[in-house]
Amino acid sequence: MTKSEVERKKRKKKSRKDGVPKKNHKPIKKHYDEEKHQIPLSSANKLTKLKTKPSSTFLDKMRARLSGGHFRMINEKLYTSTGKEALDYFQEDPSLFDMYHAGYRTQMSTWPEKPVDVIIKWLKKQSPSLVVADFGCGEALIAKTVTNKVFSLDLVSNDPKVIACDMSNAPIVSSSVDVAVFCLSLMGTNYQSYIEEANRVLKPGGWLLIAEVKSRFDPTNGGAEPEKFSRAISDLGFNSVKQDFSNKMFILFYFTKKDKRKSKGKETEWPMLKPCLYKRR
């Protein structure tokens, strides 16, 4: 072997020691195949999302529960305070009013028939020249639906056509209204002062329509006797025309104002109306 061949052989040995693989050298197989066991990128992303992001259904349920909790709190406040206290409450934070009506819409969505729809249907059968006062109008559906002139009154107004006021002190001229409506709005502990205010603004012969939750007039469960409630309004100077118990969820009372004012005598006895408080879930 020539000297040059010996040196060439030495260089080959050295290169193998330094890690240069032989020709057709196969890498040592690892204890697992990374590519075979790797989770596809799309599946990995889905798993990550499941771990870090709650489902939209869960979030919707949580939002609904929070919204429902706020609604019940505000609802209870309205039923257990005077109109003046409720007005001050909403003036401090008007956003509570929107929160309340969002919860109210949710509650109404479960009713087979809404009292405001019955009242609107009745109004459409009357003369469009009749002037209406909607006490506790909410979203002012009556004013938005009928062609009559409507005074829409409520504690807070986000609508220039709605008058914000305490319903026991409405900025309406005496004896200027043909129909006064209370649709689920006799909520204050001084509710009788609202009816007295309706009496003031109504013309002789004018109509008073009151729709209220049926449970508020269930004497067997702490509610007022319907006849006692009707008698108190009659004593104020009204004729009881009709009591409609046909609906499952609410009662509708129809009164007309007498031509002659009630003479002062024995003070009217107003029954306590049971607060309509929703159960906590």
* Residue (of 258, 208, 253, 214) closest to 235 by Cα position: 258
* Residue (of 124, 127, 203, 201) closest to 167 by Cα position: 201
| CA dist., res. 241 & res. 208, Å (int) | 10
Q: What is the number of structural domains in the chain? A: 1
Helix%, strand%, coil% for the chain, nearest 5 = 45, 15, 40
User: Can you give the residue range of the structural domain that contains 135?
Assistant: 113-257
What's the rounded mean pLDDT across residues 211-221? Answer: 92
What is the share, in percent, of the chain residues with pLDDT greater than 70?
A: 71
| CA dist., res. 207 & res. 82, Å (int) | 25
Residue 97: inside a domain, yes or no? Answer: no
Contact at 8 Å (CB) between 203 and 177?
A: yes
Strands (E) across the chain are located at 132-135, 150-154, 162-164, 177-183, 202-213, 238-244, 250-257
Residue 7: inside a domain, yes or no? Answer: no
Instruction: Give kind and range of the element (H or E) at residue 192.
Output: helix 191-201
Which has the higher per-residue pLDDT, 109 or 171?
171
Residue 245: inside a domain, yes or no? Answer: yes
* Residue (of 263, 252, 159, 240) closest to 213 by Cα position: 252
Residue 140: inside a domain, yes or no? Answer: yes
**Tell me, what CATH number does 171's domain have?**
3.40.50.150
Residue 240: inside a domain, yes or no? Answer: yes
Residue 51: inside a domain, yes or no? Answer: no
Q: What average pLDDT is seen over the chain? A: 81
| CA dist., res. 204 & res. 260, Å (int) | 8
Q: Is the pLDDT score of 16 beyond 60? A: no
Residue 91: inside a domain, yes or no? Answer: no
> What is the model's pLDDT at position 50?
47
Q: Which of 10-24, 31-45, 155-169 has the lowest mean pLDDT?
A: 31-45
Residue 268: inside a domain, yes or no? Answer: no
